[in-house]
Structure 1
Amino acid sequence: MPAFAAHAATPDPYAYRTRMDYVATKGRFGLRARGKFNHIVEMTTCHLIPPAAFAAAQAVWARANELGLPDYNLRSHTGFLRYVVVRRSPDDALLLAAVTAAGPYEAEMAQLAEAALSQPGVVSFHWLLNDSLTDLSFGSPLRHWGAETLPMRAGAATLEVGPNTFFQNNVHLLDRLLDDVREAVTSGAQRSSVFDLYGGVGTIALHLAPHVGEVVCVESVGESAELAGRNSAANGAGNVRAVAMDVLAYLRAQPAGACAVAVADPPRTGLGPEVCAELLRVAPARIVYVSCNPLTLAEDLRALGAGYALRSLMGYDMFPHTPHVEAMAVLDPR
């Protein structure tokens, strides 16, 4: 029978996020109302990040207004400034980014960068271009001021992240989750080789590196895979190999028995039937599945059930005040 543990509660339900994306539109600064893409909840404070981080982002928006940078209107697709993004490290260093449409505002953006870097804790400011009709708070890098990346402490490692790279969003539970993944990977039989699928900038891979023979960190986003390689080198993890490749394509190229353990931390869409089929064929001695979406996790567990039994399932309150939950499932062969 699988061992089902209670949720790991977050130590602090406030100021927990490592990233917030604030909308700038129609003279308002805040967040989109749920289910109403064109309605903005204007904000003068935010309890999801530390006060200094919110104040820095709000100051950038205020300075943009002073410089005459027009907010973007999603309905008419006019204007310039779409989002102000703030990323904060567990040590409260800040990376700010302005996501904009195209526009002749190079001089003004340089002045905006100066204002951003004058805010307490800000080490980096990025200008990102999203000139599509799609409402995204990510974009193509145009220029940055200050540091290129933000150092993020995770366990014993320090990882560099960029404005577009994924990183776990709860600073209070990150180390607990990483320790539980490590325990799941290393308990039992000798774990000589590990596939870290959807590995991002190497967060899980570097936490595992001192305890296993080799970790292959597979990541399809080129920027993240490059940072995973750089982070491995900077942390002296010579047994971590970063591979910039789609997970399905990578697995299809591997023989059966290619790894002892597969760790997977996919996006909300989950693994999907094709990746599950390849994991069944490669047949690692254990699968450790980290999920931010219990619905797709359940679908994937049904597919993997053809060859694996659920050994344990743990929940993590990574998103307090919301219905969302992170989970870690450990699967062993039947």
Structure 2
Amino acid sequence: MTLTSKTLRKAIVDRALAGQPTSPLCPHARECGGCAFQDRAYADQVAAKAAVLRELYASSGIRVDGFVVVPSPNPFAYRTRMDYVATKGRFGLRARGKFNYIIELTTCHLIPPAAFAAAQAVWRRAGELGLPDYDIRAHTGFLRYVVVRRNLNDELLIAAVTAAGGDEATMAALAETALAQPGVTGFHWLVNDTLTDLSFGEPRRHWGAAELAMRIGEMVCFVGPNTFFQNNVYLADRLIGDAVEAAAVEPTMRVADLYGGVGAIGLHLARRAASVDCVEAVADSVTLAQRNAIANGVANLNPICADTLEYLRAQPAGSLPVIVADPPRTGLGPQVCQELLRIGPQRIVYVSCNPLTQVADLQILTVSYRVIGLRGYDMFPHTPHVEAIAVLERAA
């Protein structure tokens, strides 16, 4: 099976849409880009992802015996983060396949109703304060996104992502409205003054709490408005727990957690290892990883702000018996894979949010490794996205 990201998504969507129809909760489910097949039975969605991934792995020469996709315990209200677009008097998400068209939402079932209502209240108040929506075509206006993050306790951190300009007094008034919403603990003003359409920005100021506490397994991880965190509040524990178990770390080991973010995986590894290098290129995430280590009483996590490739190039062969990696959608890439082959850890646990790049990397790594475990995780119900963990062991 030769696929691109687009054709992989289409294969999953087509397979899912062949499943049992069901009544979607959202009236916009068939047109909104937030959901591709909310109108199909959830079990059929999961089965579609498993079937397409089995074909992908098998066609690439990777064993798939017993491969399954773990379903989300709840396919609704699962997101830990949602980025709502504000443009031309509309508040919602982009239409499926129409980047410049926004589906105006009055509710969204990907997060709890109170979280959506809080974000919408901020957008409405911005209009009352004379803060115009941003026009992505004309590059005019001010308010680009309202971002809401939530944890299992339904505490919320909200961010307004704006273009340049604005004044602090008006934003303080907007913050007052945000903090008055049920569950909201903090409000951030982020500035994206580029032409690039991003729901992240440079922090200008915050009101209330600066971070949100996310419970993951036996740890609490603080996250900010710009930092990455697994986006399924119900399945993140299972994903991270399985990755840590698969690492089979022993108390004498020095371990590397690559693309470690705020330390969610590394902190759990540290409870089992002699030391863990948590390697992350984003400085804000490294700062939070340091804070999270202190908050959880973990003294043997070493947050390192570095590019993964440069970090690996500095490690002697045989110096790391176990490596866990959770790269972005671009995957590890040939250079990082070659460094892993040179260092030669006994075990590699590869957490991936893009099966295509994972497969490409596995085809390089299996020169010296055997895939001894492979499992999918439906972190994004109603979408074609799926995560997977591959466990590799060095061949004798």
Q: TM-score, normalised by structure 1?
A: 0.97
- 1: distance between equivalents of 2:393 and 2:247? 11
Q: Share of identical aligned residues, percent?
A: 66
Q: Deviations over 1:227-269 (max 9, x none)?
A: 1011111111111100000000100111011211000000001
**Matches of residues 144-293 of structure 1 in structure 2 within 5 Å?**
144-186=206-248, 192-293=253-354
Across the aligned residues of Structure 1 and Structure 2, the Cα RMSD in angstroms comes to 1.2
Aligned mate of 2:185, from 123, 128, 134: 123
Matched-pair contact (CA < 8 Å) for 2:251–2:274 = no
Q: Deviations over 1:49-100 (max 9, x none)?
A: 0111000000000100111100000000000000000000121110000000
- 1:157 Cα shift? 0.7
Q: Deviations over 1:13-62 (max 9, x none)?
A: 00000000000000000011133221001100000001110000000001
- Name the structure 2 match of 1:59: 121
Secondary structure at 1:20 match in 2: strand
Moved more, 116-125 or 98-107: 98-107
- Name the structure 1 match of 2:356: 295
- 1:5 Cα shift? 3.4
Secondary structure at 2:69 match in 1: coil
Moved more, 231-240 or 132-141: 231-240
- 1:4 Cα shift? 3.6
Aligned mate of 1:68, from 130, 148, 169: 130
- 1: distance between equivalents of 2:256 and 2:231? 23
Matched-pair contact (CA < 8 Å) for 2:227–2:285 = yes
- 1: distance between equivalents of 2:297 and 2:65? 36
Could you tell me which runs of 5 or more consecutive residues in structure 2 were left unpaired when the two chains were aligned. Answer: 1-62
- Name the structure 1 match of 2:372: 311
* Matched letter for residue 382 of structure 2: H
- 2: distance between equivalents of 1:212 and 1:90? 28
Secondary structure at 1:37 match in 2: strand
* Matched letter for residue 280 of structure 2: E
- 2: distance between equivalents of 1:230 and 1:11? 30
- Name the structure 2 match of 1:43: 105
Q: Deviations over 1:100-126 (max 9, x none)?
A: 001233221110000000000000000
Larger strand fraction of residues: 1
* Matched letter for residue 330 of structure 1: V
Secondary structure at 1:167 match in 2: coil
- 2: distance between equivalents of 1:46 and 1:307? 46
- 2: distance between equivalents of 1:282 and 1:192? 15
Number of corresponding residues: 333
Secondary structure at 2:70 match in 1: coil
Could you tell me which runs of 5 or more consecutive residues in structure 1 were left unpaired when the two chains were aligned. Answer: none
Matched-pair contact (CA < 8 Å) for 1:3–1:311 = no
- 1: distance between equivalents of 2:246 and 2:368? 18
* Matched letter for residue 52 of structure 1: A
- 1: distance between equivalents of 2:94 and 2:383? 15
- Name the structure 1 match of 2:43: none
- Name the structure 1 match of 2:389: 328
- 2: distance between equivalents of 1:97 and 1:293? 27
- 1: distance between equivalents of 2:65 and 2:219? 30
- 2: distance between equivalents of 1:295 and 1:225? 28
Aligned mate of 1:16, from 64, 68, 78: 78
* Matched letter for residue 268 of structure 1: R
Q: Deviations over 1:269-294 (max 9, x none)?
A: 10000000000011111000000110
- 2: distance between equivalents of 1:59 and 1:182? 40
